[in-house]
Structure 1
């Protein structure tokens, strides 16, 4: 009688049979680890277990790593929600951060030094003009627009006398751009809408300064 065994109990069970499959599983594991790490970082920041500077640096790095890792697996899992559903991950804070694409310290500025108010106003005006001029010069690529939009959000949040709704449309545009590839371009309709939103926000910003004075 044969006593042949299929697998020893301590034998490593391989998920892949070739290098291509191995690379796929390693890339998926990288995405999983980045998401879990971001969730822990977001919770640590909320609990004040990490300072703002360290949080910002780590969060920015994780966002960049996430984008790179997702580019390697987007043919398998196109977005973070589908990935989390597939692998039964519960990381809502990480999902939110990856969607917005900037650290919480930029989304909600914590530096409200009254002595710097004139500096913040000047930076905000400059951010508005830079982005609107770029769009008028036909700059449409995500990797060109996203950094300027992030700068604008940070500048707006530094001017703490502004109403909360100022950041809403900027955040929505960040989410839209962050869902696209760096090489993608917004279309003509999106350019017009973004310019419209920026011009309205710019005018409202000046009105808020007049009301304050």
Structure 2
């Protein structure tokens, strides 16, 4: 039944030829003075969410951001429940984190806060939030898929990689690197190599400190620079942790 037919039907039911009727408190136009001031509703009219190409692109980017968060939550839960292997999980998680960063950068100030965005659109994805805040897969943060050999070729290899990664990131800071997108990958490599050294004590303070810095850097935009005091503190923390790591090696 068309909108016009609906008007005529309502008019006949109410015993009047006037199309000025209201149904369920909604005026359908025309008629008495009280209804003339009320807006006319066209049931056939398409409701537009955007008015120009810029708004449409923004809406599409927000939809992409929403879907990335949901997919990442399901991926995290699948890994926790051993529904997928670490070799399947790690690259997929890394890709989703990168896609999230790209989508966020396109939105700019429209979505300045992840948790506010999720609250506004009723998203309940705590595992995804944690992964996004840290910025690296769980296999990088905690380790995974590495042989449990206490000694041997693999352990020596991972120890050498850890030493090299400590030196690399400290040298980068001394050379003046301070951008988030320059330092974050180096710290990600460092924490992964620390986790690969399976005989390293679980409470090794250096690992927790690197994780703290990863979270801090990941809360910043890629183009942002560490302040002079932040850069100095990071350098101090890494040098202290490296000394502690060398002390642990000497005690083995």
Q: Could you say whether these structures have the same fold, taking a TM-score greater than 0.5 normalized by the shorter chain as the test?
A: yes
Structure 1 residue ranges without an equivalent (≥5)? none
1:3-152 pair list within 5 angstroms: 6-8=42-44, 12-110=46-144, 111-114=146-149, 115=152, 116-152=154-190
The answer to whether the aligner puts 1:169 opposite 2:209 as a matched pair is yes
Whichever of the two has the greater Rg, that structure is: 2
> Structure 1 stretches (4+) deviating beyond 6 angstroms?
none
Query: What is the alpha-carbon distance in structure 2 between the residues aligned to residue 36 and residue 147 of structure 1?
Result: 25
User: How far 1:107 sits from its partner (Å)?
Assistant: 0.5
Deviation track 1:116-158 (CA, whole Å, cap 9, x = no partner) reads 1110110000000000011001111111111110000001111
User: How far 1:113 sits from its partner (Å)?
Assistant: 4.2
Conserved 8 A contact 1:100-1:174: yes
Query: What is the alpha-carbon distance in structure 2 between the residues aligned to residue 146 and residue 62 of structure 1?
Result: 17
User: How far 1:38 sits from its partner (Å)?
Assistant: 0.3
Q: Report the aligned-residue RMSD.
A: 1.5
Normalising by structure 1, we get a TM-score of 0.93
The answer to whether the aligner puts 1:157 opposite 2:157 as a matched pair is no
Query: What is the alpha-carbon distance in structure 1 between the residues aligned to residue 47 and residue 77 of structure 2?
Result: 35
Higher helix share: 1
Q: Which has the higher contact order (CA 8 A, sep 6+)?
A: 1
Query: What is the alpha-carbon distance in structure 1 between the residues aligned to residue 114 and residue 239 of structure 2?
Result: 32
